[in-house]
Structure 1
């Protein structure tokens, strides 16, 4: 995201970076956000960029926020296996959801989702409701 933010200095980029000492001159970096602040940011942002965590995916879909999934990968030591790749592949087929597995894809997908704004993901279409219900049912079991 730092590379994208550097190329778009007039765009506010907010990052929840976790427990480390990452500093950026162009992005607002938070180690963590409380749930209320996190959801407010997702609801109001142009594009929500997230790992392939089901909670984040469900939240973005419920709020109609365009979502870019950047799955954590075992080959990079980010996770113990590649289940997030499978999740990203599955959800990347839905309107308003894109996937990036490298920097070039991230740069292109952020711009593409911003151009589409909320039009592709907003609204409660029957397909979207069916997807949300399927995900909720899966997560609850």
Structure 2
């Protein structure tokens, strides 16, 4: 399942919602897609769409998703990271009236450079290619099983186990 969330910002994010719906309609995405559409005005008809979701529903969708696609709001992609997912992040853009400025673009670029734990998509026309190659792309990211924290924890666990055996 692919879970898409656009957050609760009051400006629509039709560009992302429509692109995902089109990819499903064209048969490019064959798995189930659940979209939290927020204030978007585009009506997704090929996906399971919800304007808003409860906290529990969001948590379950994040847990169940194979891929999480989110806007560039930090709390949305941080939540995906907390569930061990490497989120595809499509930042909202001022030029499309999706936000008041391009801070999501700037923040996404910063996180990509410093943390390397998200997959940014700045052009929605590249979204399908990213979804198609998700497994390969996510292997090179610092999240989930490959995160520095998880690697450190596994190494520490091995050290402790070796000490306990002696």
TM-score range, shorter chain: 0.7 to 0.9
Q: Does 1:5 align with 2:27?
A: no
1:100 equivalent in structure 2: 121
Answer yes or no: is the 8 Å Cα contact 1:49–1:68 preserved in 2: yes
RMSD over equivalenced CA pairs, Å: 2.6
Following TM superposition, by how much is the alpha carbon of 1:56 offset from its aligned partner in structure 2, in angstroms?
0.8
In structure 2, how many angstroms separate the alpha carbons of the residues matched to 1:84 and 1:2? 22
- Give the TM-score, by structure 2 length: 0.66
> 2-side partners of 1:70 and 1:105: how far apart?
10
Equivalent residues in 2 for 1:1-141 (5 A)? Answer: 1-6=20-25, 7-8=27-28, 10-19=30-39, 20=41, 22-24=43-45, 26-93=46-113, 94-115=115-136, 120=141, 121-123=143-145, 125-126=148-149
Cα distance per residue 1:92-129 (max 9 Å; x no partner): 34455211122222111122224567895323533899
- TM (normalized to structure 1)? 0.76
Instruction: List gaps (5 residues or longer) in structure 1.
Output: 130-141
Unaligned runs of 5+ in 2: 1-19, 153-166
Residue aligned with 1:92, SS: helix
- Number of positions where the alignment pairs a residue of Structure 1 with one of Structure 2: 128
* Closer/same/farther in 2, CA of residues 128 and 44 from structure 1, 3 Å limit: farther
**Greater Rg by CA:** 2
